[in-house]
Each structure stands twice: as C-alpha cells, then as structure tokens.
Structure 1
Amino acid sequence: MTELTQIHHGADTTAEVWRADGYAVKWSTGGTTAAPETTSYLAEAGVRGALAPIRTRTGALWSNRAGRRLSLTPWIDGARAADTGLTTVQWSQYGALLAEVHSQEVPERLKYLLPPLNPINARMLALARELRQRFTTQAPEDDLEAELATTWLAHQDEIDELVERSTRVPPPGLRVICHADPHLGNVLVTPAQLYLIDWDDAVLAPIEQDLLFMLGGMGALGPATPEAQQAFFTGYGPAALDPTRLTYYRTARALEDVAQWAEQALTSPNREASLAILQGVLGPAGLAAQALT
C-alpha cells in the first residue's frame, strides 16, 4: 500500500500535493495544461532545474481525475529556499537557471498553449471590487475580519490605483517562456542543483514578468539585500528592462497578492497568517509600494 503525505505550502487553493514513494503527486485545477507541456519541453531541452512529469501508461503528461489534472514528478528531497534562503553562490546559480529558461527557443506547440497573461490576473479586478464592497457595506463577522477591513480601507487609495493601472496594456516585447511565480517558495535547494517548481502559471511573456520578483518588494521571497540581487543578476546576465512593462507586471502581481491574501484572510484555515502577509504586501517595503513608486 502506498503511503501519501500531504504537503501544505503556498497560497494555491486550486491544487493539492502529496509525497508518495519517491514522487510528488499533484491534483490540480489551477493554471493551464501548458504547465506540464512546458516543464516536459524544458527538461528535454536540458534545463536541469525543471522537472518533467512522469508519463502515464498511455504516454500522456497527466490524467483526468474527478475534473482535475493528476500528475506525478520525481520527488526532490531538498529544502525550500523560502525557508533556508540562498547563499551568494546559490543566488548566482538561480540567476543562471532563470536565464536558461528564458533563452530557450519556444516551440510551435507552446506558442499556442502558453497564455500571454497569468490566468489568475483575469479575476483579480472583480475580486478586488467585491472585497471593497464587502468591507464598506457589511459589518465584520469577527475581530479578525474587523482588522482585515481596517487594513484594507487604510490602503484603499493604493488598492484603487493598483486596480486602475492593471487595466493598462503593457507595450509589446520579446516573449519568452516565463514561470510567472519564481519566488523562493517555488525553489528547491539540493547540494547539486536548484529546482524551480510549480509551473501552473507559466506564460509566454517578456522577461519583466519573472524579473519583477528579483527587484524588491517580495520580502524574504526575493533578494533581501543588494548583494543577493547583484549575485542573481551576475548569474542571469545583462537584462534590458522596460520600465513600463516592469511597472505593469509589478502592479498585476501586487493586486494579485492584495486580493488573494485578503480573500484567504476571510476563508482559509490560516486566516491570521494570511492577514499578516497582506499587511506586508501593503507595507512601506511591500510590493504594492514598489509597484506604485
């Protein structure tokens, strides 16, 4: 009999992950079917930090189970970089890994499969408006929601600006394979290799989509010091960033973090932790302030 151990990390409520006999088992409705296709392609192209799904008996990259995608990847017995941090050398290794992803030629099948924008962003505008309506018209149901409403309303002007800016279309740029969520919570560290996991939000977008995570506002999930940031870009190499595109992607991510963590502060089992994360996003060093600077 196979023993399943459920893994609880991150904010994704659309996926469940277990460890089982040397495999990571994921059962998900999140993202798109481009995710397993992308990691399979990257692994075949020699990107060691991307893990290809184990194919089913029919050769597919996943199977459908109760309306969700069920997939297996090799289990990596490594530490989450969000828990351990990265050394200067590892930051350079991570920069080189992300540059390797971005430099891959995009095959025709991925040009059609990969969305140009993170699918999550599509519902953030409506969610932010729903939350504003709730906090301005309904009495809080408990003390935690009262604190949540106070936090939200204290930053209402900034949140409104994030909503407005998120409707602006960024200028076009060279589109590459982007992970779209490459913070340290999605990086596994082993002595031999760094691995970038959880590709559910993979997109075909300019490099600013990924590099926003390395430029401040992510707290312990990104470079926390100038030295770490320099080490990352030493590994990544020269990057000509367009300020308008960078602002757009930062704004979209900041709105996602604000709306999703507020929603989870209302509904998740870890409401207090979700509220604390939201307060960090809206704080003076958080991503919302970075996006609006």
Structure 2
Amino acid sequence: MGETLMRRRLVEDFGLDVVELSPVAHGADLAAQVWKASTATNTYAVKWSGAGSNTGHQVAAYLADIGLGGVPELIRTVEGGLWTFHGKKKRLTVTPWIDGVRAADTGLTIEQWAQYGVLLRRVHDSEPPHRLRDALPKHSLIDARVPAIAEKLQARLTTQAPEDELEEELVAVWKQYDDTITNLLTARPPEPTGPRVVCHADPHLGNVLVDNQLHLIDWDDVILAPREQDLMFMLGGMGDVGPTTSTETDAFLTGYGPHPIDHEAVHYYRHVRAYEDVITWSDQVITGPDNAEALDIVKGILEHGLAHLAVSAGQ
C-alpha cells in the first residue's frame, strides 16, 4: 500500500490525521508493511499484513485491556473494531508507537531476562473468554503452508542448475546437511498432548522492544498450545535472539516461575520451527529479498541452531 493510500486509510478507518508517515524495515514477515505514523499529538505503529489469524489481535487486545503490562494496546477503528481489511484480506492494525530499542540488537540484562520470564508467564496464565480461547488455532498457520514450499524447493535444488552463486552455495549446504534436512522433512516427533495455554508462538528477541519496560509485539501468530511452544525459544538454538548464556536462561526461568518442562514437547516444537525456518529461509535465498543474509541464517540453523538441536535430541 502506497503512502497516499495509507494516509487515507488511517483517516477513514481510524480517524487519524497523519502529518508524518515513514516505513519501518524491521521484521521477517515479507507479506507485511509496517509504518511509523505521527499525528499532531501522538505517534503510532501501523501494520498492514495478511499473516497469522484475526484471533491473535483479539488476544493482544484482551491482554492489553486487562492491564497486562508489556502488551501494546490496539487502537480501535472509528467503528470500534480492532482492524480493517484491505487488498486480498490484509489487516490494517494500529498500536501506540514504542520509542524503544529492539532487544535483538541490544540483548537483555540479567534483570530484564527475569522480567521477560514474568511477562511470558502472565501471558500463559491468562484466561481469555471461552469463545476466544476456542477460536484460537492449535497449530502454526505457517506450518500448514511449508510442505508445498518444501516440495517446490527440493525439486529446484535437486533437478535444476543453480541460477547464481548464492543458489549454488545453497545447493551445497543442502547436500552437506542432507541427513538433518531429511529428518526435518520426514521424522517429525509425536505431537505433545499436555494442557494448552495462550502462546505468542514467536517470542524471540526480535519481537521484544525495550524502553522503561519490556514490550512483546507482533501477535499475528498466537496459538493455543503447551507452554513449551514459547519456552522452546528460551532453551537454546536461537542465537542472538534468545538467551546466549546459562545465566540468562536461568534468569528467565526464575522470572517465569515453577513449571516442570516437558522436554519431549520442547523437542517437538523445536523440530517444527526448525523445519519452518530451514524451508522458508532457503526459499528466500532464491526469491529474495536479502538473499545473502537468508543464506547465512540457513547455515546457522543447520550448523548450530534449532535444526542441529532438534535432530541431535532425537538421536
């Protein structure tokens, strides 16, 4: 959506007379646009995306409305809704602008890791209305799209000549880690059957902003799942967007509080996420943007990240 049309949508849909509008580049969702919008009195984060489900925004609004600090409120539309739809059913949502730093860029202090544990525990312990809880997806919507991408990708990498040096290197990486990738494609562990709670589903540090407190953003992919869906991100394999030392992990878990971790569930969600990441980032090496960066991410996932942990844990 272009700037002129975005300004008009913000006026018509949200009653926001924007005086300054600028795009924001952060985020891995290639189907989304994020803007910083300023009126005469306030500044907002505007997102136009087709990712996830509507229920994720409903959960975020519920958590903010009950006063759960660290979850940004959703600005209501002129009709009182949480979003409007435009262009192939993409949602337009608005939240207050958080003038903080990305935790993925700066990391968290030990105290902040403990605070993040407290925040995520409050999310998991929340009790949304039954109608909302029952409407939540129980599996990642991304996961449902990946098999078709994987099939197309496998055919290209094994039967066609590489079109450039990056694709040639990707072919070599897939050959080097053939056993690992085959495991991800064919040997998914049994799905856990434990109690399900509201899970953010993507709570790595790329979705945490820090000012005078921590803010967990990007609620597109909320699902109803065992807590290990989210805790998996804090237990290794996430590089700089997760804890990098045992002290950081311990601080998070101390803040989170008592919970007997189901390591089989961690194995399952680690395997699922590694599968999604290897396939989607490999596809981005070919289709762009940021092709070289995507290739580095694929290498990291396979060499020492989630894929390495997911497969080694099952051996």
TM superposition score category, shorter chain reference? over 0.9
1:204 aligns to what SS in structure 2?
strand
> Which has more radius of gyration?
2
Q: Which amino acid aligns with 2:216?
A: L
1:155 shift after superposition: 1.1
The residue number in structure 2 matching 1:277 is 297
Matched residue, 1:26: 47
- State how far apart, in whole Å, the 2-side matches of 1:177 and 1:257 are: 22
Aligned mate of 1:90, from 106, 112, 137: 112
> 2:96 maps to which residue?
74
User: Matched residues in 2 for 1:6 and 1:169: separation?
Assistant: 42
Q: 1:286 aligns with which of 279, 290, 305?
A: 305
Query: Which contiguous aligned blocks of 4+ residues in structure 1 show a shift greater than 4 angstroms?
Result: none
Could you tell me which amino acid in structure 1 is paired with residue 138 of structure 2?
Answer: P
Structure 2 counterpart SS, 1:24? strand
2:154 to 129, 132, 136: 132
State the partner residue of 1:47: 68
3-state SS in 2 of match to 1:93:
helix
Secondary structure of the corresponding residue to residue 131 of structure 1: helix
> Residue 35 of structure 1 corresponds to which residue in structure 2?
56
Q: Which residue of 2 aligns with 1:12?
A: 29
1:105 aligns with 2:148: no
TM alignment of 1:166-177, pairs within 5 A: 166=188, 168-177=189-198
Determine the C-alpha separation between the residues in 2 that align with 1:148 and 1:175: 37
Asked if structure 2 preserves the Cα contact closer than 8 Å seen for 1:180 and 1:201, the reply is yes
For the aligned residue pairs, the C-alpha RMSD in angstroms reads 1.2
Letter in 2 for 1:223: P
Aligned residues, how many? Answer: 290
- Most deviating of 81-90 and 4-13: 4-13
Instruction: Name 2:261's counterpart in structure 1.
Output: 241
**CA displacement 1:211-268 (0-9 Å, x = unmatched):** 0000000000100000100110110012212222111110000011101110111111
TM-score by length of 2: 0.90
More deviation in 126-135 or 73-82? 126-135
SS at match of 1:120: helix
Pair 1:210-2:230 in alignment: yes
Question: What residue in structure 1 maps to residue 278 of structure 2?
Answer: 258
Most deviating of 79-88 and 231-240: 231-240
Q: CA deviation at 1:15?
A: 1.1
